[in-house]
């Protein structure tokens, strides 16, 4: 059973998260293993299965990026199948960031300001994709065209690329 | 003589009670949810707390609680405390504890730790089971009926092995553990903060041996944990150990004696230090006062000095709090209430540190030693069906992953995922004809297997021989509502269940637990029989007394002669079997006397009703 139908939802990329959360609470009240603590072993197992489905489903659908990844997977378009397409200029920038990160890890604190600047830049690039994604979500829900899904996949891969850089930079700055 | 009672018969037998247990590092409590709310059950002397200490008495019997605590002084080799620190842990994990706690490990502690208690050798779950049995007994004496179902609380940050060990302890004690509940979550339930309906709360739980922080969202009776963090190695014990260390150095310079190797001396000093620590929560200065082997040691500690000494320990609790706030994706301003749990939250420095971090005055209305047990009772009520409007949605504190190439961890279920949670992963073979696939499951946040905690190795067995990479085995990892991992495997092509052999990295195997249960049941059977006999005799006392009294009344002579004779006969027969050890026989005769006096009871009842109608007193 797919996660959308678990919550009684149409398989759309744009969903009302508050409504999803309300459906989750309602179903949890009904199916949680706590409600079946004294039921037969079979019923207990069923409650466990249903509730883990609800929890896994909420996690997959609540966050827009995960939701899109889930949709891609449903269509056999796993994000990992494709490499992020990054321009040579961008690669240059990433290379510089990696160098600075190594310097900081080696104890050279003078690398800090440049890392902070790069962090801000990549965060901006990542967040900049979110508006574009929202548009593509609506387009897919309307057209259900696979080429739209492929465009979404390309964006998600770019996004993950920036996300990894942002995480790496923040972690190194924090350490 | 069950005269004025109305007998509803067997059909109306109440469903079995579920008790709530706080199995603490230092103290344990048992509570029950009745119509008025959760309350602590007390022992025959009115004590609400059972110290988490077990020992072996002079006569070779196990003792628990205060009796065992006294043994710590007189025969420290026959008593053990803070055993919770050893639950679900391996020998390498406890190296630090062994320096500070007088645990005596026995041979063969590689797979499961074994501690010596005088002549006896026990695993930590067996020691915990002794404490649980005592709590079970308190509940049974309170209700006058057997109790076999319980909710037990665990630190939120407990890993799979520590949870499993707690569940094993319950089983060994003859308790079906319906649910393990995280301590901070239980505390939130006890506080009944759902009265505010919606909001965000933080629970700061600084106990005897562990520290937990949880952030929850309340939504019309649903308690949804957003994130949890903690340190299973941080508690009031650490404060005691720090003060003991300083005092030992101090004593050495005064007495020219090193107390460190002297178990009795250290134990006395521990008591003195704890007394001073507890006083310092209420007065600006206290004295560590030790009299031992004809010498005395006195050292005044001001609160200011105490605060400076314990600041590093208190600060260790703040980083998990910050991480938890970040993981919960809330800001400090969005947290509406902070709840304090655990005895160490009485320390003024702890309170002020929490207040400064969360920028709000924490709740301290409920006794911090009792609030977890009360919450366990509420959860027990939820499971028993007597509490319908509340529901707990908890999370797993640690990420779950499998070992991949190069000793790296591939995470399958991330920490702070609402449980039950699951993940499915497909495995295949690497060489032609391969019959087994070994899956190593670990728990933790680090990237390398060696930095995480090994949970178990799962061996997928009897794979049909075929070329490499053709086998397709779906393995499902499911963390249940207790935070314990279940693994199932299925051949993706045939849909057939795949057999798995589980080798837990730490802890007891199922067979070992079964053996311990059998052993403990042999004993429990005796205990149970004894109690049933005692209860039957109590009931016999009542009916005999009532019948003797009724025989003095005029009504008795309204009965036909054969009825009177039947009553006398039944009475004599009951008295004959009264001292037998067969409680069923005693109950039989009680029943017979009950039947024989039925008519008499009816006459008395009618007279009573008539008198009542007339408004006269009987």
Q: Are B483 and B160 in contact (CB under 8 A)?
A: yes
Residues 6+ apart with CB under 8 A from B315: B353
- For residue B605, the model assigns a pLDDT of 77
Average pLDDT for B480-487: 92
Chain mean pLDDT for chain B: 87
- For residue B12, the model assigns a pLDDT of 42
Sign of the CA dihedral B605, B606, B607, B613?
positive
From the list B215, B195, B196, B197, the residue with the least C-alpha distance to B205 is B215
Q: In A73-103, which positions are buried (b, 16+ CB within 10 angstroms) versus exposed (e)?
A: eeeebebeeeebeeeeebeebbeebeebbeb
From the list A162, A153, A155, the residue with the least C-alpha distance to A71 is A153
Beta bridge partners of B179: B151
Q: For B391, which of A34, A53, A56 is closest by C-beta distance? A: A34
Residue B358 or A1, more confident: B358
For chains A and B, CB pairs below 8 A equal 54
- pLDDT tens across B57-94, in order? 888 889 999 989 888 888 888 999 889 989 998 888 88
Helix, coil or strand: residue A166: helix
Q: For A52, which of B391, B393, B421 is closest by C-beta distance? A: B421
Burial class (CB in 10 A: 0-12, 13-18, 19+), B64: buried
- Alpha carbon B259 to its chain's center: 34
State the Cα angle at B13 between B381 and B20, rounded to 5°. 25
Q: For A29, which of B178, B391, B421 is closest by C-beta distance? A: B391
- For residue B363, the model assigns a pLDDT of 87
- For residue B188, the model assigns a pLDDT of 92
Q: Which of B165-174, B389-398, B525-534 comes out lowest in average pLDDT? A: B525-534
- Counting residues of chain B whose pLDDT is more than 70, the rounded percentage is 94
The nearest alpha carbon in chain B to A56 belongs to B421
Q: A101 to chain B nearest CA, in Å?
A: 19
- pLDDT tens across B234-283, in order? 999 899 999 999 999 999 998 888 888 787 888 889 999 999 999 999 99
Tokens of A135: 């548009």
- For residue B461, the model assigns a pLDDT of 85
Q: Are B151 and B178 in contact (CB under 8 A)?
A: yes
C-beta atoms of B393 and A28 within 8 A: yes
Confidence band, pLDDT 50/70/90 cuts, at residue B2? very low
Q: Are B460 and B475 in contact (CB under 8 A)?
A: yes
Which conformational region is residue B358 in: left (phi greater than 0), alpha (psi within -120 to 50 degrees), or beta?
alpha
Q: What is the DSSP string of B502-556?
A: EEESSS--HHHHHHHHHHHHHHHHHHHHHHHHHHHHHHHHHHHHHHHHHHTSGGG
Among residues B22, B337, B369, B394, which one is catalytic?
A: B22
Helix, coil or strand: residue B372: helix
> Could you confirm whether B183 is annotated as catalytic?
yes
If residue B458 lies in a helix (H) or strand (E), which one and from where to where? strand B453-460
Confidence band, pLDDT 50/70/90 cuts, at residue A1? confident
- pLDDT tens across A60-84, in order? 999 999 999 999 998 888 776 666 6
C-beta atoms of B480 and A48 within 8 A: yes
Other beta carbons within 10 Å of A104: 19
> Could you confirm whether B588 is annotated as catalytic?
no
Residues 6+ apart with CB under 8 A from B454: B440, B441, B442, B505, B506
Confidence band, pLDDT 50/70/90 cuts, at residue B433? confident
Whether residue B556 is predicted with pLDDT greater than 90 in this model: the reply is: no
Helix, coil or strand: residue B485: strand
Q: Which of B144-158, B166-180, B344-358, B425-439 comes out lowest in average pLDDT? A: B425-439
**C-alpha dist (Å) from residue B157 to A107, B154, B212, B216, B375:** 34, 8, 7, 15, 17
Q: Per the confidence metrics, is the pTM higher than 0.90? A: no
Among residues B84, B133, B136, B167, which one is catalytic?
A: B84
Q: What share of chain B is helix, strand, coil (3-state, %, to 5)?
A: 45, 25, 30
- For residue B6, the model assigns a pLDDT of 40
- pLDDT tens across A91-134, in order? 888 888 888 888 888 888 888 888 888 888 888 888 888 889 99
Tokens of B372: 């977890």
Helix, coil or strand: residue B149: strand
List chain A residues with CB under 8 Å of B382.
Answer: 34
Instruction: Give the orientation angle of helix B510-551 with respect to helix B583-596, to 10 degrees.
Output: 30
Among residues B126, B205, B237, B238, which one is catalytic?
A: B205
List chain A residues with CB under 8 Å of B417.
Answer: 55, 59
Whether residue B4 is predicted with pLDDT greater than 50 in this model: the reply is: no
> Could you confirm whether B548 is annotated as catalytic?
no
| DSSP annotation of B197 | -
Confidence band, pLDDT 50/70/90 cuts, at residue B523? low
- pLDDT tens across A147-175, in order? 999 999 989 988 888 888 888 888 888 87
The nearest alpha carbon in chain A to B394 belongs to A55
Whether residue B330 is predicted with pLDDT greater than 90 in this model: the reply is: yes
> Could you confirm whether B58 is annotated as catalytic?
no
Peptide bond connecting B420 to the previous residue in cis, omega within 30 degrees of 0: yes
């Amino acid at each position: 059973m797919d996660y959308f139908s678990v919550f009684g939802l149409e398989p759309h990329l744009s969903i009302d998260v508050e409504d999803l959360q309300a459906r989750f609470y309602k179903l949890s009240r009904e199916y949680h293993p706590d409600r079946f603590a004294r039921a037969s072993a079979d019923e207990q197992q069923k409650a466990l299965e249903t509730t883990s489905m609800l929890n896994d489903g909420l996690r997959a659908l609540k966050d827009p990026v995960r939701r899109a990844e889930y949709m891609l997977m449903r269509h056999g378009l796993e994000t990992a199948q494709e490499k992020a397409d990054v321009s040579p200029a961008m690669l240059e920038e990433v290379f510089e960031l990696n160098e600075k990160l190594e310097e900081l890890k080696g104890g050279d604190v003078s690398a800090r300001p440049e890392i902070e600047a790069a962090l801000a830049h990549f965060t901006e690039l990542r967040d900049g994709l979110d508006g574009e994604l929202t548009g593509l979500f609506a387009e897919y829900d309307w057209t259900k065209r696979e080429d739209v899904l492929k465009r979404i996949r390309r964006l998600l891969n770019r996004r993950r690329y920036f996300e990894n850089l942002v995480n790496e930079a923040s972690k190194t700055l924090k350490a | 003589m069950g005269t004025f009672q109305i007998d509803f018969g067997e059909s109306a037998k109440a469903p079995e009670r579920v008790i709530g247990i706080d199995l603490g590092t230092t103290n344990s409590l048992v509570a029950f949810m009745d119509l008025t709310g959760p309350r602590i059950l007390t022992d025959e002397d009115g004590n609400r707390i059972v110290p988490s200490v077990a020992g072996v008495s002079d006569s070779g019997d196990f003792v628990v609680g205060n009796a065992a605590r006294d043994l710590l002084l007189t025969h420290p080799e026959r008593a053990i405390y803070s055993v919770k620190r050893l639950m679900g842990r391996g020998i390498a994990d406890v190296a630090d504890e062994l320096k500070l706690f007088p645990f005596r490990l026995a041979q063969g502690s590689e797979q499961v730790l074994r501690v010596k208690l005088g002549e006896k050798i026990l695993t930590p779950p067996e020691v915990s089971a002794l404490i649980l049995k005592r709590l079970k007994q308190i509940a049974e004496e309170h209700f006058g009926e057997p109790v076999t179902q319980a909710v037990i609380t665990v630190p939120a940050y407990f890993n799979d092995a520590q949870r499993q060990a707690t569940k094993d302890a319950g089983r060994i004690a003859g308790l079906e553990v319906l649910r393990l509940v995280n301590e901070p979550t239980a505390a939130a339930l006890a506080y009944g903060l759902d009265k505010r309906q919606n909001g965000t709360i933080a629970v700061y739980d600084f106990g005897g041996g562990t520290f937990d922080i949880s952030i929850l969202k309340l939504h019309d009776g649903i308690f949804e944990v957003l994130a949890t963090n903690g340190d299973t190695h941080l508690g009031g014990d650490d404060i005691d150990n720090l003060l003991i260390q300083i005092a030992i150095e101090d004593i050495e310079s005064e007495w020219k004696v090193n107390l460190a190797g002297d178990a009795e001396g250290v134990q006395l000093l521990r008591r003195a230090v704890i007394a001073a620590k507890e006083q310092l929560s209420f007065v600006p200065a206290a004295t560590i006062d030790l009299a031992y082997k004809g010498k005395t040691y006195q050292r005044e500690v001001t609160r200011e000095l105490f605060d400076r000494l314990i600041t590093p320990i208190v600060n260790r609790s703040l980083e998990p709090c910050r991480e938890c706030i970040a993981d919960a994706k809330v800001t400090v301003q969005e947290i509406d209430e902070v709840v304090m749990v655990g005895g160490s939250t009485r320390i003024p420095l702890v309170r002020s540190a929490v207040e400064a971090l969360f920028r709000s005055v924490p709740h301290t209305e409920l006794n911090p030693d009792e609030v977890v047990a009360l919450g366990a009772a509420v959860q027990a009520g939820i499971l028993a069906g007597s509490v319908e409007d509340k529901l707990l949605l908890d999370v797993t504190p640690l990420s779950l992953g499998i070992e991949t190439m190069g000793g790296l961890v591939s995470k399958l279920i991330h920490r702070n995922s609402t449980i039950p949670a699951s993940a499915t992963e497909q495995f295949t073979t690497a060489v032609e004809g391969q019959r087994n696939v070994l899956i190593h499951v670990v728990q933790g946040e680090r990237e390398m297997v060696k930095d995480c905690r090994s949970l178990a190795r799962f061996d997928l067995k009897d794979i049909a021989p075929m070329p490499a990479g053709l086998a397709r085995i779906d393995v499902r990892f499911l963390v249940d509502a207790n935070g314990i991992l279940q693994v199932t495997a299925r051949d993706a092509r045939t849909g057939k269940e795949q057999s798995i052999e589980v080798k837990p990295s730490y802890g007891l195997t199922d067979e070992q637990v079964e053996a311990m249960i059998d052993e403990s049941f042999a004993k429990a059977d005796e205990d149970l029989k004894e109690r049933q006999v005692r209860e039957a005799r109590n009931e016999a006392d009542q009916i005999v007394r009532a019948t003797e009294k009724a025989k003095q009344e005029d009504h008795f002579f309204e009965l036909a002669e054969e009825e009177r004779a039947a009553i006398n006969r039944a009475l004599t027969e009951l008295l004959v079997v009264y001292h037998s050890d067969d409680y069923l026989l005693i109950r039989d005769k009680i029943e017979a006397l009950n039947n024989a006096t039925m008519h008499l009871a009816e006459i008395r009842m009618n007279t009573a009703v008539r008198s009542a109608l007339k408004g006269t007193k009987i």
